[in-house]
Structure 1
Amino acid sequence: MRVFVLLFNAGTDNEGIHTLQIGDRNKVLMFESEDDATRYGLMLEAQDFPEATVESMDDREIKAFCESADYDWELVPEGALTLPPEASVEETDWQIDDEFDDEFEDEFDDDLDLVESEETEASEMSDAELDSIRRRLEGLL
């Protein structure tokens, strides 16, 4: 099955896949819908993350990557409203300035070798933040 994931620095030696950090575990989100993945990426950008690229991949490839890196994965059903957490980790496993760290090189797919993480904490988004995201999403239509 084809799923959609978010990549940072797509197509570079410094490519990283978006993950959530829950406790001491990392989780890769696999979206059934490209539109849902794009919306999630825009919400990340609204929180000052770098621009993410939505990539279509085989779910078996992502699961194999997660297994090799000891990460969890979650399939996000089409139409599910998934919101990124407001808090993020201070230091990512990938470097924005194109420094390449091959410590996490994946034997199944070199395109998924570094991982960006963010902490998840239950928190409410303010009305102003929701309005801002809503305006950006409406601009896509």
Structure 2
Amino acid sequence: MQVYVLLFNAGTDNEGIHSLQANGRNTVLMFEDEDDATRFGLMLEAQDFPTPDIEAFEQDEIEEFCEEAGFDLRLIPAGSLMVPPDSAVEAMDWDPDGEYVAEEPPTADESRLSNEELDDIRQRLEKLL
């Protein structure tokens, strides 16, 4: 089955797919109807998102992409009025003018607990035994 997704900078090295983010998970929307996808894209533009391209793919291609990328997916049935959330994420994983922006893992100094914190954790664990 053919589905429609919203892409930004389609066909470039800086291509990005639109997803919704909730509870730390990204969900890609697959629309059954191109007009519904177009309408959703226009609503995104009204919220100052970059202009998306509506692209047709085979559903299994998008499912495979989402599985590999660790994204959830949602099929939007034809005739459904899908409305974007009122607010966008503060920082996107994708930069419309550049490259993929992944969150940097904490440095060793940022992720270290103080000796006091470690002692406190150790004491609480020992009490459990």
TM-score by length of structure 2 reads: 0.76
CA distance in structure 2 between the partners assigned to 1:96 and 1:55 by the alignment: 17
Aligned length: 102
Bigger relative contact order, structure 1 or 2 (CA pairs below 8 A, ≥6 apart): 1
1:1-141 alignment runs, 5 A limit:
1-97=1-97, 99-101=98-100
CA distance in structure 2 between the partners assigned to 1:87 and 1:102 by the alignment: 20
Question: 2:9 touches 2:16 (CA, 8 Å); kept in 1?
Answer: yes
- The one-character-per-residue Cα deviations of 1:80-112 (angstroms, maximum 9, x if unpaired) are 011000111121111121x22397xxxxxxxxx
Q: CA deviation at 1:55?
A: 0.1
Q: Which runs of 4+ in 1 moved over 3 A?
A: none
TM-score by length of structure 1 reads: 0.69
CA distance in structure 2 between the partners assigned to 1:65 and 1:88 by the alignment: 23
Point out where structure 2 has 5 or more consecutive residues left out of the alignment: 103-129
- The one-character-per-residue Cα deviations of 1:12-63 (angstroms, maximum 9, x if unpaired) are 1000000000111110000000000000000000011010000000110100
The one-letter amino acid of 1:25's match is: R
CA RMSD of aligned residues (A): 1.3
Q: Give 3-state SS (helix, strand or coil) of 2:18's partner.
A: strand
Q: Give 3-state SS (helix, strand or coil) of 2:21's partner.
A: strand
- Sequence identity (%): 59
Point out where structure 1 has 5 or more consecutive residues left out of the alignment: 104-141
CA distance in structure 1 between the partners assigned to 2:2 and 2:92 by the alignment: 27
CA distance in structure 2 between the partners assigned to 1:22 and 1:51 by the alignment: 22
Name the CA shift for 1:70/1:79 in 2 (closer, same or farther; >3 Å).
same
Instruction: Tell which structure's C-alpha radius of gyration is larger.
Output: 2
